[in-house]
Amino acid sequence: MKEIQVGLIGFGTVGTGVVKLLQNNARLLEKRLGARLVLKKIADIDLTTPRDVQIEKDILTKDAGEILNDPEISIVIELMGGYEPARSFILEAMHKKKSVVTANKALLAVHGNEIFKVAEEEEVDIGFEASVGGTIPIIKTLKEGLVANEVKAVFGITNGTSNYILTKMADEGENFDDVLKEAQDLGFAEADPKFDIEGIDSAHKLAITLSLSYGKRVNFDDIYREGISKISQDDIEFAKELGYKIKLLAIAIQREDSIEARIHPTMIPFDHLLANVNGNFNAFHIICDAADSVFLYGQGSGMMPTASAVVSDLVDISRDMLKGIARRVPSRSSREDIIEDIKLKSMDDIVTNYYFRFSAADRPGVLSKISGVLGENNISIASVIQKGRKHNDAGAVPIVMMTHESKEKDVRSALEEIDRLDIVRGETILIRIEDDNLKSDFIQGT
């Protein structure tokens, strides 16, 4: 039987999962591929930590060069994470005509333009299914399954840690810091949890998703991002009362002249599928012109789910190698030689519905002052909730308002003005609401 020699750089949790999967499902993979995947070398700087998998000791090395310089190895799996030396290893592998499989979302979000260009020039493949949505085949879905479609919008729950925190806060009334600690103990939070709770990890994943959905070059820093650290139990309770769940959403919407790309806590109607994606699960709601609505759901992290995505890339590339072809599918779905920069809509210009929670003095005239400023800034109020006289620490009461569609720029000017009023105590909380946009007929009509 034919063999395909593979090298693995990075023997951490996912790396161990890949080794396990290649061993446990070796027969099945041979049957499906018609060849044997041979893990020839594993490189990691830490060779002493025990891993829950049996391997021949002599395949382990501390030197990634033993993989990169081995002419028999035709596919390199990079699972070390981080920017360097991962970037240099991937580029070197490609310059040596090896195809690459990686789960490195941060690297692809920031250096993807360079990496995809080199892959094209060297005529090698780069598989990155595991970089977005863990086990969910979102990359293949966008590149192949939905290739005939114009993607109108993608709404994703792409950070398991944030989703786990929001779910536990909503369902069990748990406190933010305690649940974050649980997510860290369970192993799906990033080494620096700021990446999770400040929306950076989701933005990495959205950058990759955008480049595939629209076949464009994306500049990571242009993506608007806001995390969940300001979300309190009060907002979760008010959202419930109003018929919404709060989720950290990665949003891409094609508008007439540009594309909206934003990450922020979002209120979603209770009955929408995304509102029912709980715990550390990830999901994507894709709206297309022909396929209409497509929904994907699954584990966004974890040893074996992520390994499943890595091995799927390995098999895809190997299948093509066995047929003597490469780059059957372009890395970003569209031809690399004609790829253009994406045109993102300025955040100031987005139009959506808003939830505001003001913390204000409990005295006559307060509501009219606030609504006056909103009115002067073209913001029309759809509903108001003011609870009885249960004052918070600042001696203030919460006033909640929902708006009709408003422009972000107007909202920011209004809130700046309102937060300067002497009747307002502390910063107003703003949460965007996605309601109509989640309906495919609404998006199709834009």
Minimum CB distance to ligand HSE, residue 1 (Å): 35
> Is the Cβ–Cβ distance between 215 and 112 less than 8 Å?
no
The binder of ligand HSE chosen from 189, 228, 251, 253 (CB under 6 A): 189
Please tell me the distance from the alpha carbon of residue 84 to that of residue 82, in angstroms, as a whole number. 6
Q: Judged by CB under 6 A, does residue 188 bind ligand HSE? A: yes
Helix (H, G, I), strand (E, B) or coil at 172: helix
Positions 214 through 253 that interact with ligand HSE (CB under 6 A): none
Minimum CB distance to ligand HSE, residue 427 (Å): 27
Minimum CB distance to ligand HSE, residue 418 (Å): 34
* CB nearer ligand HSE, residue 136 or residue 374: 136
Residue that is written with structure tokens 């989701």 in the block:
202
Please tell me the distance from the alpha carbon of residue 275 to that of residue 52, in angstroms, as a whole number. 36
Size of the site for ligand HSE (CB under 6 A): 11
> Is the Cβ–Cβ distance between 368 and 315 less than 8 Å?
no
Positions 158 through 187 that interact with ligand HSE (CB under 6 A): 159-161
- Which x/- pattern, by CB under 6 A, does the window 269-308 give for ligand HSE? -------------------------------xx-------
Minimum CB distance to ligand HSE, residue 320 (Å): 27
* CB nearer ligand HSE, residue 215 or residue 305: 305
Radius of gyration in angstroms for the set of CA atoms belonging to the chain, rounded to a whole number: 24
Please tell me the distance from the alpha carbon of residue 324 to that of residue 306, in angstroms, as a whole number. 28
Q: Judged by CB under 6 A, does residue 135 bind ligand HSE? A: no
Question: How far from chain centre, in Å, is Cα 31?
Answer: 33
The two three-digit tokens of residue 148, written as one number:
């005939």
* CB nearer ligand HSE, residue 199 or residue 215: 199
- Which residue among 41, 140, 205, 345 is the active-site one? 205
Which range, of 15-23, 155-163, 257-265, 375-383, touches ligand HSE by CB under 6 A? 155-163
Q: Is 205 a catalytic residue?
A: yes
Best CA proximity match to 39, nearest among 310, 248, 393:
310
Burial label for 290, CB within 10 Å (0-12, 13-18, 19+), is exposed
* CB nearer ligand HSE, residue 178 or residue 241: 178
Which residue type occupies 234?
A: D
The two three-digit tokens of residue 333, written as one number:
């779905």
DSSP assignment letter at 323: T
Minimum CB distance to ligand HSE, residue 434 (Å): 20
Contact residues toward ligand HSE (CB under 6 A) are 134, 159-161, 188-190, 196, 201, 300-301
Q: Which residues are catalytic?
A: 205
